[in-house]
Amino acid sequence: MTAADAPVVDMLGRPLDLLVRGGTAVTPSGVAAADIGIRAGRIAAIGDLTMAPATTTIDARGLHVLPGIIDTQVHFREPGNEHKEDLATGTLGAVLGGVTAIFEMPNTNPSTLSQAQLEDKLHRAEGRAWCDHAFFMGAAAENAAQLGRLERLPGCCGVKVFMGSSTGGLLVEDDKTLAAVLANGTRRVAIHSEDEPRLRARKSLAEEGKHPKFHPVWRDEETAITSTRRLLGLARYAGRRVHVLHITTAEEMDILADHRDIATVEVTPQHLTLAAPDCYERLGTFAQMNPPIREARHREGLWRAIRSGVVDVIGSDHAPHTRDEKAKPYPQSPSGMPGVQTTLPLMLDHVNAGRLTLERLVDLLCHGPQRIYQIAAKGRIMLGYDGDLTLVDLKAKRTIEESWIASRSGWSPFAGQTVTGWPKATIIRGQIVMRDDEVLGKPTGRPVRFAERL
């Protein structure tokens, strides 16, 4: 796209509320110098806007302008575990990390299983959430028959299934219940794919090993592969689209490549960056998550899947616990780590290292979430879309410091790591909510809208 491809102002010719001037924009048409004008919360003009009047102007020279980053897998722990995180601190970390919208998981206390529980979360987010948001409905035997109605409620991004046990009590381990879940509803279902019977059978390996390096031994490759094969068979029988979360094995990527008509794929920055056994020797239980960090051959398999197009989305799986909780002896220590704030810096560093292009990163963090979950008017720099933008400095070299982490947990497995590439501003519906590591204004996050329920 060139600056001449779009008009200076829209057809009505009114002044802009916000003008982002002089940046290099990553649009569906390509990467090119372009100004972006926002009015009434929507993108109103793209191109050479030198002469366009605007109430507020941001000088974006030297910066790249991305669509607003969307993180489709976070655990903000509210209600029930606000000592670890809550909707205010979690979304604060999100906007500091360049994230403009999040999808929050249902394994809270109580779990999100009903309309009343979803509406409670939406109410809690009012006036407290810094970014836009939606919430998953958890799947269980008790609500399987109602999921077709529940998944279309306002503020719901879809249904989440835990095939293997993780943090919280949600679990759909048997084929009969999973088939019932898949038979009720039409939207894509998000899946945590680990085989629960195998996890139970092998738990003694973790208890006897007493070191987090046994985490990927207990929750081994076959635990993931067996579960994903089961899932794909049931999904195909039901004719239901699924999105398989945080894939960790090279073998699963090969399997999923043969099921692209019904299955989409997510990976996390943690699995793309860390590798066993080093991470467990260096970080101990602070590297423990589900599914686990595996050895380097699997990490390389994930990168091959990114390069070949099998991976659709990168999600943080932000799952904080306190330092004291994580410091418990393994395997009493809980699984999960913070990540919503560090996803973009880590992935920009991978761009600078040549592991993927900036365009591919935008596809994974913006276009992919919009496409898979059918988000209405987000995830792309296009006329009429929400004025959600993330401005980044690809050349900025920074060290991730725990003093920068907004999560109530207060730590990061990447503390001390130097990265190249940093979020400089977060703009949500035309409002500047973060600039140069400073959060501005008040929380004004709104529920995300979805095309599949409009």
One-character DSSP codes across 236-274? HHHT--EEE-S---HHHHHHHGGGTTTEEEEE-HHHHH-
Note the pLDDT of residue 3. 37
Residue with tokens 């899947």: 305
320, burial (CB in 10 Å: exposed 0-12, middle 13-18, buried 19+): buried
Tell me which of 1 and 396 has the higher pLDDT. 396
* Whether the bond into 447 is cis, omega within 30 of 0: no
Compute the distance between CA of residue 379 and CA of residue 402 in angstroms, rounded to an integer: 29
Instruction: Please answer whether residues 149 and 170 qualify as being in contact, where contact means their C-beta atoms are separated by less than 8 angstroms.
Output: no
User: Please, what are the domains in the chain?
Assistant: 3-65+383-440 (2.30.40.10), 68-373 (3.20.20.140)
* pLDDT value at 143 more than 70: yes
Residues with catalytic roles: 317
The H or E element that residue 26 is part of is strand 24-27
Measure the CA angle with vertex 315, ends 410 and 193; round to 5°.
110
Alpha-carbon separation of residue 183 from 148, 159, 226, 241 (angstroms): 9, 12, 21, 11
What pTM did the predictor assign? Answer: 0.96
Instruction: Compute the average pLDDT of residues 276-298.
Output: 98
Residue with tokens 């929050």: 104
Tens of pLDDT, residue by residue over 226-242, are 999 999 999 999 999 99
Instruction: Please answer whether residues 64 and 391 qualify as being in contact, where contact means their C-beta atoms are separated by less than 8 angstroms.
Output: yes
* HSE, side-chain direction, 13 A CA sphere, residue 375: 31
Tens of pLDDT, residue by residue over 250-281, are 999 999 999 999 999 999 999 999 999 999 99
Beta bridge partners of 59: 21
* pLDDT value at 419 more than 60: yes
Note the pLDDT of residue 150. 98
Q: How confident is the model at residue 404 (pLDDT cuts 50, 70, 90)?
A: very high
Tens of pLDDT, residue by residue over 45-100, are 999 999 999 999 999 999 999 999 999 999 999 999 999 999 999 999 999 999 99
Note the pLDDT of residue 406. 98
Note the pLDDT of residue 428. 98
Note the pLDDT of residue 170. 87
Instruction: Compute the average pLDDT of residues 203-212.
Output: 97
Q: Is 292 helix (H, G, I), strand (E, B) or coil?
A: coil
Note the pLDDT of residue 13. 67
Tens of pLDDT, residue by residue over 1-41, are 343 344 444 444 689 999 999 999 999 999 999 999 999 99
One-character DSSP codes across 95-145? HHTTEEEEEE-S-SSS---SHHHHHHHHHHHTTT-SSEEEEEEEP-TTTGG
* pLDDT value at 415 more than 50: yes
- Within 311-419, residue ranges assigned H as helices are 323-326, 343-352, 358-362, 368-373
Q: Checking DSSP bridges between strand 30-33 and strand 156-162, what pairing results, if any?
A: unpaired
* pLDDT value at 289 more than 50: yes
Contact partners, residue 257, CB within 8 Å, separation at least 6: 305, 308, 310
| DSSP character at residue 329 | P
Note the pLDDT of residue 4. 36
Contact partners, residue 200, CB within 8 Å, separation at least 6: none
176, burial (CB in 10 Å: exposed 0-12, middle 13-18, buried 19+): exposed
Note the pLDDT of residue 14. 84
Tens of pLDDT, residue by residue over 145-165, are 999 999 999 999 999 999 988
Q: Checking DSSP bridges between strand 64-67 and strand 24-27, what pairing results, if any?
A: parallel
Instruction: Please answer whether residues 136 and 106 qualify as being in contact, where contact means their C-beta atoms are separated by less than 8 angstroms.
Output: yes
